Amino acid sequence: MAVEKKAKVDISKVKWDKDGLVPVVAQDYESGEVLMLVYMNAEAFNKTFETGYAHYYSRSKKTITKYGEALGNTQKVMAAFLDHDSDTLLLKVKQKGQANPEKKAFTCFDEQLVGEYNTIGAEMFGRLQRMIADCKKNPEEGSYASYLFIRGVDKIAKKVGEEAVELVIAAKNSEKSEVVDEAADFLYHMMVLLAAKGVNISEVCAELCKRNR
């Protein structure tokens, strides 16, 4: 559930820097990807929680803007947190558009400098969800996901069933690699089925959270 408009947030809890600003980390609420590091002043802070959409302060332009307004993009605030020192704000947002439109990148942190990195967990599912959604919206010849969407829910559901059976069979064998392969096939087709039915992985996760309370 998104932050409601005119949400009551105690601005006095925030520790502003000498320029009256607080750094803000914007994070995708579904995938966990860090989208950008930006700043707010008191006015941008209030506008964010009055409207439910992120507003940021530009240190170079000295202006306050609603995120992505010029391009028709938005960041709907789903949750907000202060760190233990109360001098950094974390926004979990539902982003429409790209954080880095110049590079057509979903996140501003798209240039890796060092180290090995493989997306795992929620972040991987978030990226996969966007890729599959794009195949549904913009079918491409030769794309397997596009082919499945064209064939419809019955075909997709059948593949999910087939992959589930193959996963069970693999679990009976001793080779761990077979289980990994078949689990990947099953999860991929499950994600395609969710997209076909208009279901986000976050909705499934929310249901799981309810069951574990």
Residue pair 58/70 in contact by the 8 Å Cβ criterion: no
Q: How many CB atoms lie within 10 A of CB 53?
A: 22
What are the angstrom distances between the C-alpha of 77 and each of 12, 119, 157, 177?
A: 20, 24, 34, 40
Tell me, what's the pLDDT at 7?
62
pLDDT for 161: 98
| Structure confidence by residue, pLDDT tens digits, 77-129 | 999 999 999 999 999 999 998 888 878 888 898 787 887 666 667 778 888 99
Which domains, and CATH codes, for the chain?
Answer: 11-96 (3.10.20.810), 121-211 (1.10.287.1080)
Percent of the chain with pLDDT over 70: 94
- Please give the residue that has the higher pLDDT: either 4 or 108: 108
| Stated pTM of the model | 0.72
Q: How far are the Cα atoms of 8, 90, 128 from residue 209, in angstroms, in the given order?
A: 26, 21, 21
Quick count: other Cβ atoms within 10 Å of Cβ 138? Answer: 9
| pLDDT classification of 49: cutoffs 50, 70, 90 | very high
Residue 212, pLDDT above cutoff 70:
yes
At residue 33, φ and ψ (nearest 5 deg) are -65, 135
Residue showing tokens 């997709």: 156
Give the per-residue pLDDT at 158. Answer: 98
Contact 88, 25 (CB under 8 A): yes
Interhelix angle 176-196/201-211, rounded to 10 degrees, is 110
